[in-house]
Amino acid sequence: QVRRIAEEGLKTTGYEEVGFLSLSAGDYSCINGVLEDFFDEFGAENVAISLPSLRTETMNARLAEQIARVRKSGFTVAPEAGSERLRRVINKGNAEKDLQHAVETIFQAGWELVKFYFMIGLPTERDEDVREIIRVCAEALKRGRRATPKAEINVGISTFCPKPFTPFQWDPMIPLAETQRKHGILKDELRKLGRGYRDLHVKPHDARQGALEGALALGDRRLATAVLHAFRKGQRLDGWTERFHLEVWEEAFARCEAEHGVGLAFFAHREKGKDEILPFEHIDCEVTKPYLWKERMAAHAEGKTEDCAYGEERCTACGSCDYEVVDTIIYHPEDYRPQKRPPAPAPPVERSTLRLRYAKEGIAVALSHLETMSALLRTFRRAEIPIPHTRGFNPKPRVGFGPACPVGTESRAEYLDLELYGSPDPAQIAARIAAELPEGFRILSVEPIDNKADSLSRAIRGIEYLVELPEGAPDAVDRLAVFAARPDASVVREREGKHPLRIDLKAAVQAIRAEGRSSLRFTLRAGETQATARPYELLEALFGSEWVKAGMTRIVRENALFDRS
């Protein structure tokens, strides 16, 4: 059933990756068989899979081998706590040897980057537990380098937030100052490792958002006062760091405390009593409150609760199974065998290349170049076009795209080169693609070209644009005269992480003329050897930025000029 759902989804969407989602995918007893069956079916199409974060004890060589068969998507491992003592508290059976074995297995299978996920602020946590995070990660990097000198580890650190219907719902969340202090411990320990561990990247999550999460998770209806106040102060999309304003929420909780006598500390940062009535108790989640309290006491004593998936005799009577809808799940290590399939026929040795010209209009003009590439590659998958892939770490379809079209610009001159197995009929390929194209795209022509022809980035030497100015814009004829009289017409393009780039607009413009007072046509130089100007940069130099805002000025890419030499 899993394979059938994946097959239907891939055929319908043209996507190139399937995610197998689960709370712990490695615990799924059929995982190896399902992956083997999946890749036997879709491996030739270079469809990759991704898994959510894996518990270290579920990682094994066979699992890594299956995931690596096509394309090495990201690998996230969740040790969750730095020390074995603290992992016992949260009832995670993953010993450090499991983690280090998982790391060696992943890097030996060909990965160069592994992501770890840890939490700080867990109940009973001590400073030495926090320091253990860095020690464990440093050891993991050391082992990874035995498999590849390019080994790199990214470490995500989040602050533990107690949630309803869990054994830790009575425990406090650590306050902001304590979270920041623990972040300082992590930074100090990382600094002590020295320059030899520059490939170990520790990235704590925003500590300011944690307290708010804790209050919203555990608070009662009195929270509405704070939420409404923050809303009226303009708070929206607070999950985005740049939109989160702690001072507004502090003011909101101060208002809540003034009205109700309780604030942020009451909701998020205090320990609750055993018999305290919790705000969410009127909801029955089947797992009983006495059971959760018993589990909390066991956790604080570092006791272990057995996994009932490995046998009914391990049932702890938590209350979640009613034996009608929900029953005890028993682990069967060999309850799925991959289907035996005949080997797929080898693709034709012969290759051919088609050059497609297509239009981007309507809603498609809002797509960036990368989004356009993704949309078209998925179109080719839906149309079942036989495209070869590159070899290497991450195989890519052999498709070459022409120069990027600016967002908001219509185009009747977009090009791509499509390498194919065999020599299919261009008209049939065009018809199959046209049937699957998203709204706003049109195939204009499909022509065979020599397999050794220059790439589009080398072959296209100029791009012609038509511009229609909005009513009230400055006279195009006058502005062209002013532009022609200027001794210098350069723009400086800011680039993130690089030096600014100066572009000579006069050298970039191959031809320009006014077509009446409210429209003009120009050709900009293109090619991979020199920096090229963008149409918006030229228009701003001619008319000012106020006249080239998105939606005001119509810009159409009319034609591409090819090097015929």
**pLDDT by residue, tens only, the chain of 565 residues:** 777 888 888 889 999 888 877 766 666 667 777 777 777 777 777 787 777 666 666 666 666 766 666 566 667 888 899 999 999 999 886 788 888 888 888 888 888 899 999 999 999 999 999 999 999 999 999 999 998 999 999 999 999 999 999 999 999 999 999 999 999 999 999 999 988 899 999 999 888 888 888 899 989 999 999 999 999 999 988 888 888 999 999 999 999 999 999 999 999 999 999 999 999 999 988 899 999 999 999 999 998 888 776 656 677 778 777 777 776 665 555 555 555 666 656 666 789 999 999 999 999 999 999 999 999 999 999 999 989 988 766 788 999 999 999 999 999 999 999 999 999 999 999 999 999 999 999 999 999 999 999 999 999 999 999 999 988 888 999 999 999 999 888 888 888 888 888 999 999 999 999 998 899 999 999 986 667 899 999 999 999 888 876 567 899 999 999 987 5
**Secondary structure letter of residue 52 according to DSSP:** -
Distance CA 224, CA 210 (A): 18
Q: What is the pLDDT of residue 181?
A: 96
pLDDT for residue 26: 63
Q: Which residues contact 340 (CB under 8 A, 6 or more apart)?
A: none
Q: What does the DSSP 8-state code read for residue 57?
A: G
Q: ∠71-77-81 over CA atoms, to 5°? A: 170
* 346-453 is a CATH 3.30.70.580 domain: yes
Amino acid 550: pLDDT: 57
Write the burial class of residue 418 (CB in 10 Å: 0-12 exposed, 13-18 middle, 19+ buried): buried
DSSP state of 347: P
What is the model's pLDDT at position 53?
66
96 — alpha (psi -120 to 50), left (phi > 0) or beta?
A: alpha
User: Residue 90, CB half-sphere, CA atoms under 13 Å: how many?
Assistant: 25
* Phi, psi (degrees; rounded to nearest 5) at 63: -65, -45
Q: How many of the other CB atoms lie within 10 Å of CB of 102? A: 27
Q: What is the pLDDT of residue 175?
A: 92
**Is the four-CA dihedral 333, 336, 337, 338 of positive or negative sign?**
negative
Q: What is the pLDDT of residue 72?
A: 63
Q: Report DSSP letters for 260-296, one per residue.
A: HS--HHHHHSSPPPTTPPPTTTTS--SS-HHHHHHHH
- Pairwise CA distance, residues 507 & 344, whole Å: 54
Residues forming a β-bridge with 502 = 492
pLDDT at 368: 95
For position 5, what pLDDT does the model report? 87
Here the tokens at position 554 are 């119509």
Residue reference for tokens 């809808």: 325
- Return the pLDDT at 547: 80
C-alpha torsion sign, points 358, 364, 368, 373? negative
Q: How far is residue 261's CA from residue 279's CA, in Å, rounded to a whole number?
A: 16
Of the candidates 123, 84, 122, which has an alpha carbon nearest to the alpha carbon of residue 100? 84
